Chain A
Amino acid sequence: MTVIKPAQSVTSPSVRRRTQATPGHLAVQVLKYTIVGLLAATWLFPFYWMFSSALKDDPQVYTIPPVLVPNPAHWNNFANAWAKNDFTLFAFNSIFRYSLPATILTVISSCIVAYGFARVQWPGRDVLFYVCLMTIMLPWQVTMVPLFITYKTFGWLNSYLPLVVPAAFGNAFFIFMMRQFFLTIPHELSDAARIDGASELGIFARIILPLAVPALAVVGLFSFLATWNDFLGPLIYLNREEHYPLALGIKRLRDNISATGTNELAYPYLMAVSTIVVTPILALFFLAQRTFIEGISVTGIKG
């Protein structure tokens, strides 16, 4: 019966205070917080397990019943797992060869394109925008094989070019996000500048762009997230270990487990690097929670 709650939000505070006192209402509240609390605990458990397993030694990993709080906790697992498996290199690749270049290119190209779709009136614009929107629904599998063949003939395999270059041509989803934002800026601002003789490029760069910084941040955040999390792209294009991003570094660690049986500290190390790779995303999320939620909601509600 938790669904009845919207009614409470419309009752005045005094009424609410009165109803809260009744035993029935108290029972509903207790039930509600129990459900939400259990849900949250269940949802967080895999992350807790990832983190706590990273602190264990082998006997603690293979004990039944499972060890919930590792004692002693081996904090040096994090440093060892990282250093012994080349993760400094993988982190460098992930950040400086993939996420940062792709994010910068995506933000620039997507906001230029979105401006053309949002703030310039031209014949055929809405049809093209509709086409752009439809490409969001295109499954990646359809273009995967031909693009692979094309990049192979370019000699781009085993480089980050196939992952970064397409970002220079805008991403349909981010174009859509930016356009939604640009549409909310009053047209009078552009019109006034036009009367003053400003060029369209000048209006874009000097008037609209400074106002669009929050939207640029949203797109940058989501793009960073997508590239940091990308597994399939690197899996297809990068076969040499010196090129691996973090995701493939983790996969290599896991493949070693399957290949050699369970070598020493295999699972604690696997969980330790997983924890380290998850952490920046969690930090980013809690620092910019509002930005995340607004970005995701805007596309959902106005889509």
Chain B
Amino acid sequence: MESTTTMRWGRISRRDRQNLLTGLLFVSPWLIGFTLFTIYPLLFSFYISLTRYDLIREPVFIGVENYTELFTIDPQFWKVVYNTIFFVVLSVPFSLGFAFLVANLLNTQIVGRSFFRAVMYIPAIVPGICVAMVWLFLLNIQYGAINGLLQSWGLPAIPFLSNPDLAKPTLIMIAVWATGNAVVVFLAGLQDVPRSLYEAAVVDGANGWQQFRHVTIPLSTPVILYNLVIGFIGAFQEFTSAYLIFGSGGGPLNSALLYSPFLYQNAFQFLRMGKASALAWLLFVVVVIGTIILFRTSARWVYYGGEK
């Protein structure tokens, strides 16, 4: 095995060469798929972003015009960016904070833990379209259950779907409702925290809050980072609820027009493939930079125990 350090083909031992061939053979489906479905579209996408292309006529090379149009001319782009950042910055912390509290609640001695865990998890695994349909119905201003109840109690109806100020909070509310994945992951992380640490903390005279602050939280930081990265990337790509509940136009005054439905609209309704690809590349760059920042800063706050 030592000879693997030198990559010169002739110096690799027979056995290593054999292993290399075997290994490559096993991963070859992925390698081919990676080239065909990731690398090639990624580069192709960048090229399209520099063209004007409507799928019918030949693409015309126009340099960075799609990008400058987005930044300077497009009346919706900055609104969409604002909407998306608003959604990401609020939905991720709310969802994760809520999920962490629920996971801690379920990590206590509780009868029916797996039932409650299932209840929290189910919204995350059922088809997005069914979820969107029932919320659309629940939140309807005239005959939705929520407004119906409010009205029958003599309270004013809440225009969840038609008021521009409430459109994004409505999406955030649904995101929090569907945060079951994070609950399950947090709960598994909490159950991994060694009992002995709590016992030691009790011996040292720590009260409940101090145990939570100095044992539970530090040992949960790797799981928090994982959920944060997954949640961050997922929130940027939110499509199904936003598109189905507020339509491709993004609801009242485009107030719920998020980045992915906007991109979809440009590509498949306006057939502006160049502009859509420019949007896709901008999103790609933002997600990569954001993820790198999360990982870089994580060194400061994520605690990796000595055990792994």
Chain B interface, DSSP helix/strand/loop, else mixed? helix
Say yes or no for A267: interface residue by CB 8 A criterion: yes
What is the bound-complex CA distance between A152 and B208, given in angstroms? 61
Chain B nearest CB: distance from A162 CB in Å? 10
Say yes or no for A27: interface residue by CB 8 A criterion: no
Residue with the highest number of chain B CB atoms closer than 10 Å, among A44, A166, A281, A297: A297
Chain B nearest CB: distance from A90 CB in Å? 12
Chain A residues whose C-beta falls within 8 Å of the C-beta of B167 in the assembled complex: none
Chain A nearest CB: distance from B31 CB in Å? 8
- Selected from A4, A35, A53, the residue in CB contact (under 8 A) with B212 is A4
In the complex, the answer to whether B181 meets A296 with C-beta atoms within 8 Å is yes
Chain A nearest CB: distance from B141 CB in Å? 12
What is the bound-complex CA distance between A12 and B98, given in angstroms? 30
B273-308 at interface with A (beta carbon < 8 Å)? 273, 276-277, 279-281, 283-284, 287-288, 291
Closest to A166 in B: B37
Chain A nearest CB: distance from B59 CB in Å? 9
Interface string of A1-32 (1 = CB under 8 A from B): 11111111110000010000000000000001
In the complex, the answer to whether A46 meets B29 with C-beta atoms within 8 Å is no
Say yes or no for A247: interface residue by CB 8 A criterion: yes
What is the bound-complex CA distance between A108 and B11, given in angstroms? 35
Residue with the highest number of chain A CB atoms closer than 10 Å, among B117, B189, B207, B212: B212
In the complex, the answer to whether B267 meets A7 with C-beta atoms within 8 Å is no
- Selected from B16, B25, B115, B188, the residue in CB contact (under 8 A) with A301 is B188
Residue with the highest number of chain A CB atoms closer than 10 Å, among B117, B188, B199: B188
Chain B residues whose C-beta falls within 8 Å of the C-beta of A75 in the assembled complex: none
In the complex, the answer to whether B208 meets A47 with C-beta atoms within 8 Å is no
Residue with the highest number of chain B CB atoms closer than 10 Å, among A109, A146, A274: A146
In the complex, the answer to whether A10 meets B148 with C-beta atoms within 8 Å is no
Say yes or no for A116: interface residue by CB 8 A criterion: yes
Say yes or no for B118: interface residue by CB 8 A criterion: yes
Chain B residues whose C-beta falls within 8 Å of the C-beta of A267 in the assembled complex: 137, 143
In the complex, the answer to whether B110 meets A32 with C-beta atoms within 8 Å is yes
Closest to B236 in A: A139
In the complex, the answer to whether B267 meets A148 with C-beta atoms within 8 Å is yes
Chain B residues whose C-beta falls within 8 Å of the C-beta of A62 in the assembled complex: 142-143
In the complex, the answer to whether B34 meets A9 with C-beta atoms within 8 Å is no
Chain A nearest CB: distance from B175 CB in Å? 14
In the complex, the answer to whether B125 meets A281 with C-beta atoms within 8 Å is yes
Chain A residues whose C-beta falls within 8 Å of the C-beta of B185 in the assembled complex: 296-297, 300-301
Q: Given A123-B20, A143-B38: A2 and B104 within 8 A (CB)?
A: yes
What is the bound-complex CA distance between A137 and B37, given in angstroms? 14
In the complex, the answer to whether A66 meets B148 with C-beta atoms within 8 Å is yes
What is the bound-complex CA distance between A62 and B36, given in angstroms? 52
Chain B nearest CB: distance from A288 CB in Å? 11
In the complex, the answer to whether A122 meets B16 with C-beta atoms within 8 Å is yes
In the complex, the answer to whether B281 meets A142 with C-beta atoms within 8 Å is yes
Chain A residues whose C-beta falls within 8 Å of the C-beta of B137 in the assembled complex: 49-50, 53, 267, 270-271
Chain B residues whose C-beta falls within 8 Å of the C-beta of A142 in the assembled complex: 41-42, 45, 280-281, 283-284
Of the candidate stretches B70-78, B87-95, B126-134, B158-166, the one touching chain A is: B126-134
In the complex, the answer to whether B125 meets A40 with C-beta atoms within 8 Å is no
In the complex, the answer to whether B130 meets A50 with C-beta atoms within 8 Å is yes
Say yes or no for B204: interface residue by CB 8 A criterion: no
A267-303 at interface with B (beta carbon < 8 Å)? 267, 270-271, 274-275, 277-278, 281-282, 285-286, 289, 292-293, 296-297, 300-301, 303
- Show the binding face of B for A, using Cβ within 8 Å: 1, 4, 7, 12, 16, 19-20, 22-27, 29-34, 36-38, 40-42, 44-45, 48, 55, 102, 104-110, 114-123, 125-131, 133-138, 142-143, 145, 148-149, 151-152, 177, 181, 184-185, 187-189, 192-193, 195, 198-199, 202, 207-209, 211-212, 215-216, 223, 226-227, 229, 233, 236-237, 239-240, 244, 260, 263-264, 267-268, 273, 276-277, 279-281, 283-284, 287-288, 291
- Show the binding face of A for B, using Cβ within 8 Å: 1-10, 16, 32-33, 35-36, 39-40, 43-44, 46-47, 49-50, 53, 61-62, 64-66, 109, 112-113, 115-117, 120-125, 128, 131-132, 135, 137-150, 152, 166, 168-170, 172, 175, 200, 204, 225, 228-229, 231-232, 236, 246-247, 250-251, 254, 267, 270-271, 274-275, 277-278, 281-282, 285-286, 289, 292-293, 296-297, 300-301, 303
Q: Can you list 17 A-B contacts (CB < 8 A)?
A: A5-B208, A10-B195, A40-B120, A61-B143, A62-B142, A117-B26, A120-B23, A123-B16, A137-B287, A141-B280, A143-B37, A146-B42, A170-B33, A247-B129, A250-B130, A281-B125, A285-B125
- Of all A-B residue pairs in the complex, the 4 with the closest CB atoms, nearest first, are A4-B208, A169-B33, A116-B26, A5-B108
